[in-house]
Chains A and B, each alone.
Chain A
Amino acid sequence: MLLSTRDLTKTFPGTRALDAVSFDLKAGEVHALLGENGAGKSTLIKCLTGAYRRDSGDILFEGQPIFPQSTLEAQAIGIGTVYQEVNLLPNLTVAENLTLGHQPRRLGMIRSRAMNAQADEMLSGYGIDIDVRRTLDQYSVAVQQIVAIARAVHLSGRVLILDEPTASLDAREVQMLFDVVRDLRARGLGIIFISHFLDQVFEISDRLTILRNGRHIATCPAAEVDRMQLITLMLGHELQQETATRARPVADGKDAIRFSGVGRRGRIAPFDLTVHKGEVIGMAGLLGSGRTESAEVLFGAAPSDSGTVEDSDGPVDLRNPRAAIAAGFAFAPEDRKTDGIIAELSVRENIILALQARRGWSRPIPQAEQIRMADDYIARLDIRTPDAEKPVGLLSGGNQQKVILARWLATNPRFLILDEPTRGIDVGAHAEILRLIEDVVAQGMSILVISSELDELVAVSHRVIVVRDRQHVSQLTGEDVTTDTIVRAIAAPDLTPEATT
């Protein structure tokens, strides 16, 4: 065994995140780690890499007990990690990022030519051809991930841990990444892969380990389980079948919000959009195509510099988020860590925050009311937390996302913008969130969903807007809303549905 844990246990106040977990990783395999949000996957990883200190249990590397006290030590032992959020330095060059901490030096000075050569060498074999002298932020997230992998492999070389590496990649980029992973597997690395995308899991993994509530549930070869069995193991019960009946939009236009010619120079070309009451609008497009930029214009986070917005009562003020919220808008952003959660504040405070901000500082929501609301949403969205007072930053990624959803639902908005609402959310919660969308839409809320998961878009949307190159290029309605048509509309300008039919 390359790397194993024996009875690994880790307790946080109120939570047993890992309960005597035993786990084995062989050399030359991709081992997927699966489980619901809060099952303990990230915690297991962090114990392996020394980011957390285990309470008890052993970690064996090639049979030898190890005690990594920091990620640096773990790296030196041979365990490298790439997290979902790329944690490299965006304004250093690719070469600097790759060689940071071990740059070739002469007399204390960094030798940049040697450094660049070394970086080129490190990247060779990863199938990407980039200029290592450019800064990292000039490349896509996928390339950044691969750079991070190259660095981790170079420094550690035995075990590579990937915690939700594909969450913000599109299909093509995922393939690019998987090519790299397969290659590394062939070179004999042991790879731990965490993801909520079951298709990807089946595509790349050799074996699976499932955790639930901090316990080891099962380990088996990937070929021996099917999707439904796997979901049942993860959830501990069968997934309730989606009862997706799309609500009819109220198309009389009476309560519609009309955006005409809104846009922002350099970010998104002016576009028109009419949002009807009780309607779900999907928005599809590649990463960086202008989806998030559209959402920010609609919410006033990056206010429009042209056009008008009106509803049945007249013009709508979208000068800034405050104004938008006052107008009944809500926006759950894509990057929950920097734009969403207030990490140190409790789950309760995070949930009531938007509502409180709208009421103003002088009218605090009574404590009892806050507790009631928090408990209500914790139950409704199945947020896994020991209690409402836990700082939200300590929740698992998927549960943080649910807290943000709760925050906006609490304001009872009329127009809710969700940017990648199911990213990092487990299959069970995924279904719950889709059901939730159906619910609130049935009550008359309008929703704009931005998502890279086309199945999800197709499942919930009444119509889908396709964004390409910072322009709204087409709109699909009715029968045209299928993954196929969306893929084609995203891909090429001459393949819009009109052109193909």
Chain B
Amino acid sequence: MTTVLRRVAPQLLTLVAVIMLVSIYFPSFWQIVYVNERLVGIPIDVIKRGAPVALLAIGMTLVIATRGIDLSVGAVMAICGASAAWSIDQGFGLWAALGIALVAGLICGLWNGLLVAVFDIQPIVATLILMVAGRGIAQLITGGTILTFDNDAFSYLGSGTLLGVPVPAVIWVLTGIGFGLLVRRTALGLLVESIGVNLRASTLTGINSRVLLIAVYMGSGFCAALAGIIATADIRGADANNAGLWLELDAILAVVIGGNSLLGGRFSILASILGAMIIQTINTGILLAGFPSEFNLVIKAVLVIIILVLQSPRVLPQLAYLWRGRRDRSQRPKQSQTSQQNAGTETKT
């Protein structure tokens, strides 16, 4: 537990700092009220709106841990959202719609995984294919329109509440816990980290890296499917053009803010989720602050750069060293006097 805390401490501190920053503009940040059987307040907005990126970040963390990247998640969201809306539209009902959407996500992941693991295509290129083609596929499913539907059970997944908490938040929390347990209570996490650090050595150690890679991309597809379902249920319609647009970048950013290396290896799903919440707090904060829209991206970029620079393991020691180096040089004469103490052990024969 303490090791987990130590791992995510930078992200927690960052989140607190960002929240404090938002509170400056919006002092009643923590005001949460209970109306209409739902909790209402800014934190609630954050955990609800952050759901797609948080979900994507869960899958993306694993992919990145294998030294890969999944650029297709935004498009997969669109495909899965479209599949779900189409199923509802066809009258298949809630469960069939969910099943079809999740299977669609798994198939997309399988496709990516096969390209990466079996055909040895670089992940960035392999997933780019679906990133580009995916929206076209989604368009085909929706017939080029925003496919709207009327199904309260399905909409509940996007805008309902469970004990006052938005259902999307419940979904990502459960998914996060599920994936967390899956990788840490089994050996999956270790094996994934291993192939991320050194694929060749891992294969020689007997790890079934091919199957593992495919599974990881399928996991990412599954998370994207959940995110797509939420996005679709939220607006009661599948928008093939815009569902999940650019979210792959936010998901990657969340993983990076979570302190996970793009070079693979050690990963923390919890830290990535915190990264997603940091990003969402910034997004929500920008909306609340009421700056002109032109500043949105600039403010976000500046904050992200500050966060990444401060989290960089090099910056602080570097500054410390530079400072010390200067002092060393100026104090030179004093230091060389202590250089005798080891002379006794010298055995000059």
Contacts and interface: CB of A to CB of B under 8 A. Distances in A.
Contact of B332 (A65, A331, A333, A358): A65
Interface in A310-368: 320-322, 324-326, 331, 333, 338-345, 349, 353-354, 356-365
A70 interface: no
Contact of B194 (A67, A218, A339, A342): A342
B188 A345 contact: no
A276 interface: no
A359 to B, nearest CB: 8
Interface stretch (B53-61, B143-151, B334-342): B334-342
Interface stretch (A27-35, A219-227, A422-430, A441-449): A219-227
Interface residues on A, range: 35 or more
Nearest to B264: A344
Contacts of B341: 7, 20
B198 A58 contact: no
Given A7-B339, A65-B332, A343-B197, A215 B345 contact: yes
Interface in A283-308: 299, 301
A330 to B, nearest CB: 9
A322 B342 CA distance: 52
B335 A217 contact: no
A364 B187 contact: yes
B49 to A, nearest CB: 34
A6 interface: yes
A216 interface: yes
Interface residues of B, number: 39
B204 to A, nearest CB: 5
Given A53-B321, A219-B346, A357-B191, A58 B339 contact: yes
Interface in A213-258: 215-221, 224-225, 233
Contacts, number: 126
A22 interface: yes
Contacts of B36: none
A384 interface: no
A362 B186 contact: yes
Contact of A407 (B185, B200, B205, B207): B205
A321 B209 CA distance: 11
Contacts of A345: 190, 193-194, 197, 265
B345 A344 contact: no
Interface of B: 185-188, 190-191, 193-194, 197-198, 200-208, 212, 265-266, 321, 325, 328-329, 332, 335-336, 338-339, 341-343, 345-349
Given A65-B329, A325-B205, A357-B207, 7 more contacts: A20-B341, A22-B343, A56-B335, A342-B197, A345-B265, A349-B190, A354-B206
